[in-house]
Chain A
Amino acid sequence: MPDDVTILDDAAMIERLQRGAFAYFTSYANPENGLIADTSRVDSPCSIAVVGFALSCYVVAVRRGWLSREDAALRTLKAVDFFWRSANSDRADATGYKGFYYHFLDMHSGRRVWQCELSLIDTALLLAGMLCAACFFDADSEPEAQIRRLVHDLYRRADWRWAQNDSGTLAQGWKPEGGFLHYGWEGYNEATILYVLGGGSPTHALPPSSFAAWTITYQWENLLGRNILYSGPLFTHLFSHAWLDFRGIRDEFMREAASDYFENTRSAIAIQREYAARNPRGFAGYGADLWGVTAGDGPGPDEMQSSGRDRRCFGYMSRGVPYGPDDGTIAPWVMAATLPFDADSALRGTRSLLARYPQVLRDDQFTSGFNPSLTEQATGWLSEGCYGLDQGLLVMMIENQRTGLIWQLMRGCAPIRRGLRRSGFAGGWLDDVA
């Protein structure tokens, strides 16, 4: 295979990038319990959200012929079985509580690390991956039947009503040391799938008022000449969308705005491109075909010298445009992850990035963050290693572009349909008989 992927035609290049990204999930997995590392760095713990992405990516891998169906089913079963058997109690070293799970787990013991929070959004991404697997593994074989049973039980176990903590919206997390974490819900973000899954629960369903209590804080905005339900970091326009096909379905907010969440992501892409073209902070590389500001690794909190100018940089943080923060760090993988929304922009951007800065791709995997404005190293600043979230989102979104596999599976997922309807979504495929 050639080193330079940009000499390949679009289809071949995309296949290469998708497969490269998928390799993360076979390289950084614990085969004993199905857990996947958060990052490729030594001693990285497991992130439960990355497991959710992995479970969805196994499905893609079967379809692509990268994994046998049996292998994928066994990997999936390991993970769902682990979560079903894991310690689910209010003990500080459990794996989860009330059917939700801690954000980061020890790769081997599967227990909570870093005194991290019981995370609602990360549990939602985990459950979305599980439900996706349960929809895909529909054969009568014992492993596949067992996957479906366990996922069913795991989903039923999550106590969404408890997680409301007697308020309208959901709490963002919980800790055994201090109880619920509540940062408030103000404005749109990646959590649509959280409320949809909560609403679809057969056992502890959120009331419709819960989603409404969040969406009341939305703003319909005209920004850089585009109408958008704004959220800065690009990933927030992609995470729920990796599973949910938002084309043609609308909640109350989008009916009023005469848009939908698919179209909204297209607007977010357009704003990212327009911002990069205007490049108000004068960052190196930025242009209409080189963009992608989102959450991710960064150069760090120290002032660093860039092309003779002092710049203040951030470490891992949620970056966004045009409101900021923006320190010149882009996520090299994110342009390709927008393929199903705007293929032309995604391809042009990815190609121009790889042609100009081939160092962002190592072993066909994108690094998490890249800052070409920082010139202390000839390559610019490059994040060390890869992040599972980035790789998983890329695999799924490329597949959604190529075959629509994940979207199609989830359109047939009863909890998703129930949750969407309960959250006020209607129209399009949601009105078709499943």
Chain B
Amino acid sequence: MSLERVKTGAAAGDQDNYLRRVHPAGWHNPTPRAQYDLVIVGAGPAGLAAAEAAVRLGLSIALVERACIGGNSLNLGSVPLKVLVRSGNLLAGMRDAVRYGVAHTGTAQADLGAVMLRMRRIRSRIAEVQSVERLRACGIDVFFGEARFAGKNRLQCGTQQLKFRKALVATGARPKATTIPGFERIGYLTSATIFDGDALPGRLAIVGGGPLGCELAQTLARLGSQVTIVQNEPKFLPLEERDAAEILSRSLARDGVVTRLNTTVVGVRECGGRRWLDTVSNGAKNSIAADAIFLGIGRTPNVEELGLEAALVDYAAHEGIKVDEHLRTTNPHIYAAGDVCLRHKFTNVAQASARLAVANAFAAKRRRQPHWLIPRCTHCDPQIAHIGMHVRQARQRAIAVHSFTIMMQDVDGAIIDGTDVGFVKIHVRAGSDEILGATVVATRASDMINELSVIMHGNIGMRRLADILHSYPAQSDAIRLAAVAWRALHGSAVPPAPVRRAAKAAAAART
């Protein structure tokens, strides 16, 4: 199929369907009930998970959203970016195809317009299962508009007032702004705006070397932009360990990304029709020319304009809404979940915390927020994933750790695939077979880390893991091989690990 056919085939209908699902044109808000059991503010991953949980409890629910159902994750974040990543990976694979004895005629290249069309189609498809229509079919009253608390148990949405027994604030977070001179005047892209256009910036400067900056840098470089990424720390992905971050640095460089570590952006200006990013690195000044600038320096909770004061809900601008261990705010009838109140701003945590908040709001006995054991992944090539404790965190708590590493270049499944860059590193409590955490760098680390999540939740130690059959050949066999290495060293000298240790490990990792 030609690119043109893809484009024409991707009917404008995709976009129509999408909008119909996430924010229909000419929407009329329903007439509010006298009182709702639960009013949910924000229909992102947390708000939707809360709604689903509340439906199961048979509650009357109002769901208020100011933009689109699905929140950042679906509309501006994970979903659209990962669609672009897929196209970038495919293009890189095609350029590499000759290694596999596969030739294609012509030059593999990307058409960003077509990539964006695919992105919109996928977004629309995913939106279907959480569409306004479906929410309404579940008996949820969906309100679009800006919401403000008007009192301890009232929410104002436009001209309508929603009274509630309980409320959940799940307004999420947005890209953090900067005070670096020039940014506001000259303008910049963030994850909230980058998916608007269909044209690839010729020269793109990315400020911020976290997961978002790195994913975007590699992907847009593969798709054809000249990308420079500026990070003010000694490594990319500061949360991840050295060996992972270094592999990522090299992989960015291999794809033609110009990497600037230990470099601080001090200003942005326009000169000669170009944008310039002024930087300082070890006292040396430099300037980077760019057609577009992307700012990815973190996320800030959406706490403003919500009338939280009127509802007696305490919050701080950077940390977000204050919640207790039960996810309850300073107003005992109002709970919060997801990015607006949690340090770990991940879709999976947002959903889990929302389910817990709903349960706590209506159960006789409240459950504490557990120490979430969070698998997370940066979707670069290779992907970089982590769960549980880092060695450094363990050592700071005087826990002796022995890490068992399998290089992907020694895993048959990865060798066969030609995707043998990376490693699986499982951190084990010394003197036992208890798994405290793991880092995976591999093309499919996002999947492999989920196996480790199950292993840790299931309290499976290295001894049992070594005997668990894995399909052959497979990249995830690296996980079993790490356990085999553990057993080769320990024989049967160490007793099996006690139960409930995964939760304890996560507890330590949290602080």
Residues of A bordering B, CB below 8 Å: 115, 117, 175-179, 181-184, 186-187, 216-225, 227, 230, 256, 278, 280-281, 312, 322-325
Contacts and interface: CB of A to CB of B under 8 A. Distances in A.
B376 interface: no
B431 to A, nearest CB: 10
Contacts of A181: 262, 282
Given A178-B283, A179-B283, A222 B392 contact: no
Q: Which 8 A-B pairs have CB atoms at the shortest separation, nearest pair first?
A: A178-B283, A177-B283, A280-B409, A183-B234, A184-B234, A186-B242, A221-B403, A222-B404
7 contacts: A186-B234, A186-B235, A222-B489, A278-B409, A278-B410, A323-B243, A325-B250
B380 interface: no
B423 A175 contact: no
A256 to B, nearest CB: 5
Interface of B: 233-235, 241-243, 246-247, 250, 254, 262, 280, 282-284, 391-392, 395-396, 400-405, 407, 409-410, 415, 420-421, 423, 425, 430, 485-486, 488-489
A216 B233 CA distance: 19
B420 A225 contact: no
A186 B392 CA distance: 9
Contacts, number: 88
A268 to B, nearest CB: 14
A216 B396 contact: yes
A164 B485 CA distance: 40
A178 B284 contact: yes
Contacts of A278: 409-410
A252 B430 CA distance: 15
Contacts of B250: 324-325
Contacts of A117: 282
B410 A280 contact: yes
A181 B396 CA distance: 25
Contacts of A323: 243, 246-247, 407, 423
B402 A220 contact: yes
Of listed B395, B404, B489, residue having the most chain A CB within 10 A: B395
Contacts of B243: 187, 230, 323
Given A222-B485, A227-B489, A322 B407 contact: yes
A184 B235 contact: yes
A221 B405 contact: yes
Contact of A217 (B234, B235, B392): B392
Of listed A179, A186, A224, residue having the most chain B CB within 10 A: A186
B409 A322 contact: yes
A116 to B, nearest CB: 11
B280 A222 contact: no
A223 B426 CA distance: 11
A221 B391 CA distance: 10
Nearest to B400: A256
A209 B395 CA distance: 14
Nearest to A309: B99
A295 B485 CA distance: 29
Nearest to B423: A323
Contacts of B415: 280
A225 B488 contact: yes
Given A221-B402, A223-B405, A280-B420, 9 more contacts: A178-B283, A184-B233, A186-B234, A186-B242, A222-B403, A227-B402, A256-B430, A324-B421, A325-B250
A253 to B, nearest CB: 9
A222 B486 contact: yes
A182 B407 CA distance: 30
Contacts of A184: 233-235
Nearest to B249: A325
A374 B425 CA distance: 33
Given A256-B400, A323-B243, A323-B247, A222 B405 contact: yes
